[in-house]
Chains A and B, each alone.
Chain A
């Protein structure tokens, strides 16, 4: 009993950081509708800056001053990010901004590496709060008690600010109705900047305040990202009390989980989230999202047409050129192109549901990695032939997509995205923790192609056949009645349903089809590398897919493929340099600002302006 209570206290103390960071994310999303992927990076910066400040500011006063100053410093960094990176692209299509925030992640990673080095930093202990107290006989760190006391204070101050002050009322107005802010005569740009300051500051505070418990390291940004998304979703987007309740729920359950079912730790919060969303679709304290509230920003998509003779000729020419690559004898070029084609198929499959279906999946890596693992497991445990494993992989991935899709399809918008993320993490943690079956962190190795495919060039042609074949199949389906029904469901659910289209069923089928194609890409991948590791199922992999789809152009058919090829090529060049993340991050942000319609969309516009391609519309 007393142990249970002590664990409860530990959970409550852990909730402090989670709440601080998540409430910042929630505020930013609520007001600006930006899904800020770089929020974990703000948190990490808070820890590093707080650490440095604590080295120079002594004593108890110094400690708490450092925490506050770290928060302010990160808040200012947030302001810089908002003004330089996000402000130019508010008018870009929905969710496009998350690509830019991904660029920010990359930049901050290298800046932190450069400034603080690669070693983990052990956080200093809080002066005056170093000991323990005994509560019902159990030792409880004093610092934990401080955290438990501080969090409700922060919650109350935020709540007071939001409900009682003029700024807060504006923030709420903006959260509920964005048009209204303009009507109130408020400069929306500065409101957004202010909210970014506050949100980033909260993340920074969270990072600094956890130093005595956790220290600072370079993996903190991604490590907390999934958790804070989960907290915001469970609590309800934009709700502060919700964020607090969810942070407590997750942290406390986590402490108990670690003690009593240690295998569950990684999965637990996602299970909780899935359960909450099944029961309370908009989170514990969330408001119902009015359909179309986030509306499509920017111009509507253009009609699509299958490639004309010129387009076909160009594609055929490109395929012909690709087929010539092995003749050059360069192993490197073949391996690079194999990687590009595999990744392009993965991106094209994501584009299919994201672009055509309007369903934003944050967890598409589950089907790519899933396909790779299905093949690898079949080979490892059943000694299956490569051919059989290869054929079954897409079906395995599709089966996963059918089941996960069925669950996620009950929600829309950001909640759908978060559910896909949750299930992807679930699969990742299963693979990661089930050592005996999946090899865990060590992955599965020795997964080579059949003898007749063993050889760089042969496998290269094999990849071309299935990779490009898959991409062309996805493209063809886009022009088929099914593809049209998918776009119809996205454009106007109401009209589609009123003319006999079962929109959810269409979207579910599309989700499964995209899963199968991602699984095919995964199968191509695993036999080209000979191994697979849990990294192929990670959030970072899913984000990679999202980034290239948005970079290439969501509202264009070839966006996914072009984005994937560009990113793979650029990465190949940049990774030879030391600070390649920084360069890539800057490059992504520059592209995002210069080409808000994605690479293909912007090229298309440019072509139109120069009169090279026929105008598709007489506007």
Chain B
């Protein structure tokens, strides 16, 4: 308990040490390689102290965007402001950022201590200052016993901790993380994820975190930016995005297992609801959440697996046969195939046994369903 307090105190001391306000503004940011545009007009606001996660599928431009903030990539067009200053042309070192890379990027020939003190060595800091700052960072990351090791004597998680320690000792205005956990195994990934969350609570520094993993995004972020093909799809708090995705892409990206999408036909529509149907599903009325649909048009119905539940035989709106069951103990994920061959995944919040080929009837609460325009 007292140790926990001590750590919290350290965090507070660290944050007070003359760090600059670091809110970040991206305005119409663009990046082209040759003629090929990979970032296509991005506007993002990140408040001071906010934990912002860029999430999106591989190749959507997350790293490129982060590297533009860091100063490792030139900005083709648009404005980047850090702490109210336009920094488009500023050198990385003048932006007050620290970065943690996927492959750690720690110096193999230096000890852990030297690695963590690197930024201070570069700035010609005194020995005493280096020792004190490294000691504090090591305490925060609980790695004091590793300080004299070489990187080759560390595990992947410990190496990533060294890289984070190197970032902490510089006391930057902004932390940038580029998929820092992708090279770690699953168990370690969860531990480190929690540690990074705690670190943000302790330091209160602005952080931008890039990941393709929606779990990391959901658990860590104050604000999630969902990217696709170099454009922002949606920005907002994790639950906001989870509950009100603006389009099918965002809806499918957040949440696991991912949302079911069923092609439906609009039978009737008014301002707030629409009645939809498909051959293998009984007609049902769902909310339109401000989107407009005309009767006869095609649309996509989105159902989260968790919102589907089993019901008494011959009732419900969806009927399928079990093809695969995954029993996780606290949850049972079932893959069902409906009469028309379409697959639906349902996740039941308890342990249940199903047999392959067993017929299951399903219902869902219509107010939890999402209706999207059909994508072109």
**A and B associate:** no
- Which chain A residues have a beta carbon within 8 Å of chain B's beta carbons? none
